[in-house]
Amino acid sequence: MCGIVGFTHCQQAPQPGRIWEAIASLRHRGPDQQDVFESPAVSLAAARLKIIDLEGGHQPIVDDRTGTVIVFNGEIYNHLELRAELERRGRTFRSHCDTETVLQAFLEWDTDCFSKMRGMFAVALWRESGKRLVLARDRMGIKPLYFSRRGEDLYFGSELKAILVHPEIERCLSLRGLDCYLSLNYVPAPWTLLEGIEKLRPGHWLEWRSGSIRTQCYWRLPFRPARFAGSAKDAEAELDRLLNHSISEHLLSDVPLGVWLSGGLDSSTILHYASELSGKPLQSFSISFRGCGCDESSYIHEVAQRYGSDHHELDISDFGDLPSTIEKFAYYSDEPSADAGALPLWLLSKLTKTHATVVLSGEGADELFGGYLTYRANRMSRFVRWLPSPAIGLMAGAARGLWPVSDEKIGLEYKVKRFLEGCQLRPERAHVYWNGTFSEPEKAALIRQPLPGSLQDTLRELADAGDDLAAYLWFDQKYFLPDDILTKVDRISMAHSVEVRPPYLDHRVVEFAASLPASLKIAGSRQKVILKNLMRNKLPASVLSRKKVGFDIPAHEWFRGPLRQLLLETVGRARARYSGFFDIEEIRAIKLAHWDRRTNTGYHLWGLLTLLLWMDKWRIQIRPPAEQKTEKKVLIST
């Protein structure tokens, strides 16, 4: 795993040391080796975390014959197959690393090479002939890649902080990005929270040539593909085959490897297959929450004992200085992580690094096979919406007024109130509201300037897709998974120089899951039906029958206790710098209502806290309304 960064130089000559400063900002992603390539036209750099071919693979790699240069972040799991094919075509290799395989594949097939790769990656390739720069990102967006166009030049990097090194980049808050962030808890691609900086969409490549840019999709997330033709048993057998193949490939490593274990179905399934394929006990890592209703220790220990893993565990109470850890997120999260799961993930990554460099994780299974409660809520809401709107409003108001606020992380009280509020919205808005935070009226009260309504642009895709499980899964795989879940995992794990591999997101597993009927994902109150059926008699019955517990903190409780002072101090600084933009009194009202237990707004407060910490850390500016720019997307050719 690595970090990459690059700048073109159409408008001004390269400045001595700037590319070194940029790659130094990514050293946590690649502490083992950093180097640069510089020419009058382009500067490229890579920071490498050695995983495959520890002696070779020094980056950047330059092809001696053509002068083509590559900087690469990721892993290509079928690189040995590609290498063999390329050697049959006459290509020669100097190392055994997958980075050189990507370079030779590009020289052989140009941009068609990306569709031949299985893995996770963000890559930049420079061809001196034609002064051509090509960027590409993996199909599911596991690895990040940002870019910004300034005049004729292009700047790119694995993280925003590497691009921000360049003095041409302004640090102005994007209202379009903020509009989405406050509703969704993340910013959907291609937008970011900074004006003029975009994310390259998953499954796309971008070409820069002499100041002109075009992007193109090389793989599309499947939506309503041909239905799987076999029986339920046939589907289980095919999923078994695909998981065997994917996890076998994901075990390839020249450094110590383990599995993140939560005690739930997804990670336990990964450990099951990985243990069988490795033929020896693996290391496993987990976080416990002693004394908290969301603790999963008993399930974790049962699974770890079944597979004889060398298990390592830390309790969240061993976190130490909680506020100072959260303040570190402002630097490492790149954009603020409104997902409260970032906090235990920080501790888990820190624990992992003391024993292993690579871990397998269960990300993606919920989005592929229907694991979130929101999918059941989507179905239930259809029946509630048969009631007159005033009746739904009365029920929601009664729940808010009569049902006491609980201290549970996501208790029944919180779910019912949130569900009834969502039932008053259009189906596509309700879906994101149940996973998000602020409603449209709440955003209008919080921000003193009008927001551009950009969330509607994203939700229009979901509205057009339809009100059924396939549409919601497709939307979450396209946006929620890469821009929230995978972004969080990448930034927090790479802050500790740990590579996380999600075997469920092999594109063949994704395409297969999309072909399955809804009944093999959700049937009544059962969710992830096919995965549970597959793992029956393999995993402990307690794991198969347990309710899903999200991997995050008891935010409601903590903002009334250990995080209270940090929130007060952060809002106080925001009052001095941003009071003309945020309605600080509205934030104060949200705090007081939460502290007085009139509402449960811990997740609202977490999103605001991380946003304000990030803005303060990076000295983010806000343009006056008269100076705000209209943000434009790069044209995507299809």
Identify which of 614, 576, 507 has the alpha carbon closest to the alpha carbon of residue 178: 614
Give CA–CA dist 20/341, Å, rounded.
Answer: 33
213 found inside a domain: yes
Q: Are residues 168 and 251 in the same domain?
A: no
Same domain for 237 and 344: yes
State pLDDT tens for residues 81-118.
Answer: 999 999 999 999 998 999 999 999 999 999 999 999 99
Range of the domain at 165: 2-174+195-217
Residues above pLDDT 90, as percent of the chain = 71
Q: How many domains does the chain have?
A: 3
Q: Greater confidence, 637 or 403?
A: 403
- Residue-averaged pLDDT of the chain: 91
Q: What is the pLDDT of residue 86?
A: 97
Tell whether 454 is covered by a domain. no
DSSP 471-515: HHHHHIIIIIIIIIIIHHHHHHHHHTT-EEE-GGG-HHHHHHHHH
Give residue 636's pLDDT.
Answer: 41
200 belongs to a structural domain: yes
Angle subtended at Cα 310 by Cα 328 and Cα 270, rounded to the nearest 5 degrees: 75
Name the domain boundary from 545, 563, 587: 545
The answer to whether residues 67 and 41 touch, using CB atoms and an 8 Å cutoff, is no
Task: Please tell me which residue, 305 or 288, carries the higher pLDDT value.
Answer: 305
Among 545, 571, 592, residue at a domain's last position: 545
Pairing of strands 132-137, 212-217: unpaired
Q: What is the DSSP letter of 423?
A: T
Residue, of 56 and 356, whose pLDDT is higher: 356
Mean pLDDT for the stretch of residues 459-469: 92
Please, which residues have CB within 8 angstroms of residue 20's CB and are 6 or more apart in sequence?
36, 45
The confidence score (pLDDT) of residue 631 equals: 57
Are residues 91 and 200 both part of a single domain?
A: yes
565 and 517 fall within a common domain:
no
Retrieve residue 123's tokens: 């890559």
Residue 637 pLDDT exceeds 70: no
Here the CATH number for the domain that contains residue 15 is 3.60.20.10
Report the predicted TM-score, pTM, of the whole model to 2 decimal places.
Answer: 0.94
Is residue 31 in a domain? yes
Instruction: Tell the residue number behind the tokens 């999103």, with chain if given.
Output: 607
Are residues 102 and 136 located together in one domain of the fold?
yes
Q: In this structure, what token pair is assigned to residue 169?
A: 């980049």
pLDDT in tens, 5-64: 999 999 888 888 999 999 999 999 999 999 999 999 999 999 999 998 888 889 999 999
pLDDT of 484 higher than 50: yes
**Per mean pLDDT, which range of 306-315, 410-419, 466-475 is the poorest?**
410-419
**400 in a structural domain:** no
- Please report, rounded to a whole number, the percentage of residues in the chain having pLDDT higher than 70: 95
H or E element at residue 375: helix 373-384
Residue 301: pLDDT band with limits 50, 70, 90: very high
**What pLDDT is recorded for position 318?**
65
Are residues 168 and 239 located together in one domain of the fold?
A: no
Are residues 276 and 164 part of one domain? no
Select from 2, 11, 7 the least CA-distant residue to 20: 7
CA contacts within 13 A on the Cβ side of 513 = 29
Asked if residue 330 and residue 209 are part of one domain, the reply reads no
412 assigned to some structural domain = no
In a shared domain, residues 359 and 314: yes
Q: At what angle do helices 322-332 and 602-617 cross, to 10 degrees?
A: 60
Tell me the C-alpha distance between 18 and 24, whole Å. 10
Q: Residue 551: which of 412, 345, 318 has the closest Cα?
A: 345
Please report, as a single letter, which amino acid is at residue 326: I
**Same domain (yes/no): 169, 238:** no
- Please give the backbone phi and psi of residue 384, each rounded to the nearest 5 degrees, phi first: -65, -35
Q: Say if residue 530 is exposed, middle or buried (CB neighbours under 10 Å; 0-12, 13-18, 19+).
A: buried
Q: Has residue 297 got a pLDDT over 90?
A: no
Confidence class for position 76, pLDDT limits 50, 70, 90? very high
Q: Clarify whether residues 275 and 324 are in a common domain.
A: yes
Rounded Cα distance, 415 and 422, in Å:
10
| Mean per-residue pLDDT, 155-178 | 95
Q: CA-CA distance, 513 to 267, in Å (whole number)?
A: 18
